[in-house]
């Protein structure tokens, strides 16, 4: 279990580094083909290619955007090659010419591939703290 946990943590760090380096191609390699995300604003995207395109768009439209995910806990089912990661996230970006910050919690589901790599299958982010300038999600 230690090796799997270390691999997941290392992959999470590669994701953080890819965001910092504005590298959507690397992000795509860390995601399962059917990856699904619910963002902190409740937007949803499906598929690794769509998610990589979303990141590329963010990086192009706002070079100040940065997000960091910090793992708190990982629970692993070695027999099935599944894992859950719980953590905290924080981010900042420019909106209407002003730098704004937001942060919160997340849950991520990982799955081990046939070649032993861990990829993200799904992530759910919940915004808990935010600057006044942040735009809330639309009502349901």
Q: How far is CA 99 from CA 22, 66, 69, 96, in A?
A: 18, 11, 19, 8
CATH 1.20.1270.30 fits 2-130, yes or no: no
> Using one digit for the tens of pLDDT, what is the confidence trace for 2-42?
679 999 999 999 999 999 999 999 999 999 999 999 999 99
How many Cα atoms within 13 Å fall on the side-chain side of residue 129?
Answer: 8
> Using one digit for the tens of pLDDT, what is the confidence trace for 44-75?
999 999 999 999 999 999 999 999 999 999 99
């Amino acid at each position: 279990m230690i090796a799997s946990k270390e691999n997941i943590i290392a992959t999470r760090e590669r994701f953080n580094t890819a965001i910092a380096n504005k590298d959507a191609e690397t992000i795509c390699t860390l995601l399962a083909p059917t990856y699904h995300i619910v963002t902190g604003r409740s937007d949803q995207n499906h598929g690794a290619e769509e998610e990589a395109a979303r990141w590329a768009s963010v990086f192009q439209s706002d070079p100040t955007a940065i997000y960091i995910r910090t793992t708190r806990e990982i629970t692993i089912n070695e027999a099935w090659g599944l894992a859950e990661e719980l953590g905290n996230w924080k981010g900042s970006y420019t909106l209407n010419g002003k730098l704004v910050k937001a942060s919160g919690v997340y849950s991520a589901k990982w799955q081990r591939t046939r070649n032993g790599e861990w990829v993200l299958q799904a992530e759910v982010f919940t915004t808990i703290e935010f600057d006044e300038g942040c735009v809330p999600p639309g009502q349901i």
